[in-house]
Structure 1
């Protein structure tokens, strides 16, 4: 499929107004997201991954109040992450990776209380990872990478996270206990973290810690797992 995307319930089949999911992944779509989509009040999932959409991420996405899943990954969106996304109170998954986004993450994202999966790596963002991430108590997966800015400590992360990737974002200080409890993937490479590795058994599948200033003895539990120091 190629071309632009568009739809309006006022001119299209009434059944479109009852659509709950839009998946246009891996096509050749260009342009941007039509404001008319906001009239589809039951739309809970939008995936536009791997297309050629460009321009700013439209703020009117904040009107898609039923959304629980939004992926704009691997497009050519530019500009800042719009604060209007904070209106998506039901959102569980927000994936903005691999675009051309700039600026800092808006504090309005803190309003999405039940966010479980947030990915924004491979952009041109700057600034720090905001402390409100620790308030996303349902967070299972967090991926932010290659974001220049001032040094800052690793925020407290929620319990029972599966994947925590904070690579090359100028983290400093020690790694808090909560981060060591991440279950599957812990990637904190190329930061300025210090302190000793814990002696407790690491149960996760992958651990990446190279490019820091950690000290201490490498425990056998690290060597037995897929751990990169």
Structure 2
């Protein structure tokens, strides 16, 4: 007769066996069901066919591998594709994939697409007439750095700047292509509405061949607190005419670029109301009149580029209020007067270029000692007098200095050796003396690769005891300019 304990053990084993069978009967069907669900849960067939049609018009070439877009795979798993919870394609992102061909109109069937980025490829041809308007969820469109060409077609979005689903364009980048003609009014009006509605953040059309006026005022005409625009870039096109009034209402604008165009007239004062600006880049235009003292109110500026225009008058006296400036490029204008003392407060400057103006004054009296981050200083082609500023030697980060074509006098100080990073030095066309001392000192600049001393040291004897090329001296020198000095004697170039 079995003991009570053996009966209890048998009962436990029986229960464990029944539970195991029960669990297997549940888990196996669930596993098979999950396989079935994975098999049937694939992207929309319309989206898949649209993408396959798009891929049929593009190709890649070595060293870029082919796309893994196969009809046998779920398109939500394809490279560059993201789908939403309804298995509709929302993102098509294939930047820098070596794509060639053209953008197929089949993409217009991707009705849930919100992000399209085909930048940094070699796509060519024009944009299809309805490409943008049928992408009803498009928020970001980036076609930059391709070979796209022709005029932009009309872009149909509703007048609210939103598409039929309620989304709104946030970023549009068509830069670095071969587009031409004017920007379509339909596109501009709807982008303006998107800016006023608080969605448009960035518009970039640089490096094309667009013509007409830059439509700045369209984006800044409503309640100034509602305009969301932060970045406007019209650079390197064929835009002309004056900068339109209205930018002052773009209260969130941070960067404004319109360089390398044919813009004319003054900088309108309402631009100085945009205190959020960190960058103004308007070089290589035909802008005139004075820069305007109001610009010193833009205290968040880090970049001010106004070179190669026709500006006149003084550098704003209180420019030192722009203490965050890192790049100040005002060269090739008609600026007059002296360097304002307040400029010394711009202690974050990295590049200072005032070359080719009509500036004057004793440059040795200017205090450069606070410019500890300065790497490039260009004051050439002005009317400065005095000697090389002794405070300049505190700028230990300097790698390039030009004082050429001024009226500087005196000798080169041994303290210039404190500028150990200096690789470019041009002091041509001044009235420097003592060429022997200059070469003896300058050969100690170990990183110097370009040295321009032309039209100085007039009628001095070329030194015979200073070897230009010898161990320990001018180790990296590649360019040496001595023209127009009327030296006597000869140069020793023997090693």
Match of 1:100 in 2: 334
Point out the structure with the larger strand share: 1
2:347 aligned with 1:113: yes
Q: Would the aligned equivalents of 1:209 and 1:228 in 2 still touch at CA under 8 Å?
A: yes
Which one of 67, 76, 87 corresponds to residue 310 of structure 2? 76
Runs of 5+ in structure 2 lacking a partner?
1-210, 230-250, 483-495
Contact 1:140 1:163 in 2 (8 A): yes
Structure 2 Cα separation of the partners of residues 82 and 114 of structure 1: 18
- Using a 3 Å threshold, how does the CA distance of structure 1 residues 15 and 39 change in structure 2: closer, same or farther? farther
Tell which deviates more after alignment, 24-33 or 180-189. 180-189
Determine if the alignment matches structure 1 residue 30 to structure 2 residue 261. no
Cα root mean square deviation, aligned: 2.5
SS class of match (1:77): strand
Pick one of 375, 381, 400 that aligns with 1:140: 375
Task: Please identify, of 41-50 and 191-200, the stretch whose mean Cα deviation from structure 2 is larger.
Answer: 191-200
The answer to whether 1:21 aligns with 2:274 is no
Shifted more, 118-127 versus 208-217: the winner is: 208-217
TM-score by length of 2: 0.43
Alignment of 1:219 onto 2:468: yes
Correspondence for 1:192: 431
Given that residues 62 and 85 in structure 1 are in contact (C-alpha distance below 8 angstroms), is that contact kept between their aligned partners in structure 2? Answer: yes
State how far apart, in whole Å, the 1-side matches of 2:373 and 2:445 are.
25
Say if 2:448 and 2:474, in contact at 8 Å, map to a contact too. no
Name which of 413, 418, 425 aligns with 1:176.
413
- Alpha-carbon offset, residue 9 of structure 1: 4.9
Check 1:219–1:76 CA distance in 2 against 1; reply closer, same or farther (3 A cut).
same
- Paired with 2:456 and 2:328, the residues of 1 have a C-alpha distance of 29
Structure 1 residues 218 and 56, CA gap change in structure 2 (3 angstroms) = farther
1:159 aligns with 2:401: no
Residues 85 and 92 of structure 1, relative CA distance in 2, 3 Å threshold: same
Greater helix proportion? 2
Larger radius of gyration: 2
Task: Give 1:69 shift.
Answer: 0.5
TM superposition score normalised by structure 1: 0.88
1:210 match? 454
Q: Counterpart of 2:343 in 1: which secondary structure? A: helix
State the alpha-carbon separation in 2 of the partners of residues 184 and 3 from structure 1. Answer: 42
Query: Which region of structure 1 is more displaced relative to structure 2, 77-86 or 218-227?
Result: 218-227
Alpha-carbon offset, residue 205 of structure 1: 2.1
Distance 1:200 1:84, change over 3 A: closer
Q: What per-residue deviation string (whole Å, max 9, x for no partner) do you get for residues 25-69 of structure 1?
A: 111111222222233232111110001110011111101110000
Q: Which has the higher contact order (CA 8 A, sep 6+)?
A: 1
Q: How many residue pairs end up in the alignment?
A: 229
Which residue of 1 is the match for residue 358 of structure 2? 124
CA shift at 1:81, angstroms? 0.9
Which moves more between the two structures, 181-190 or 99-108? Answer: 181-190
Separation (CA, whole Å) in 1 of partners of 2:307 and 2:426: 20
Q: Deviations over 1:100-154 (max 9, x none)?
A: 1111111111121221211111111222224212332221111012222543343
Please name the residue that 1:64 is paired with: 298
**Structure 2 CA distance for partners of 1:3 and 1:212, relative to 1, 3 Å:** same
Alignment pair present for 1:228 and 2:481: yes
Tell me the secondary structure at the aligned position of residue 26 of structure 1: coil
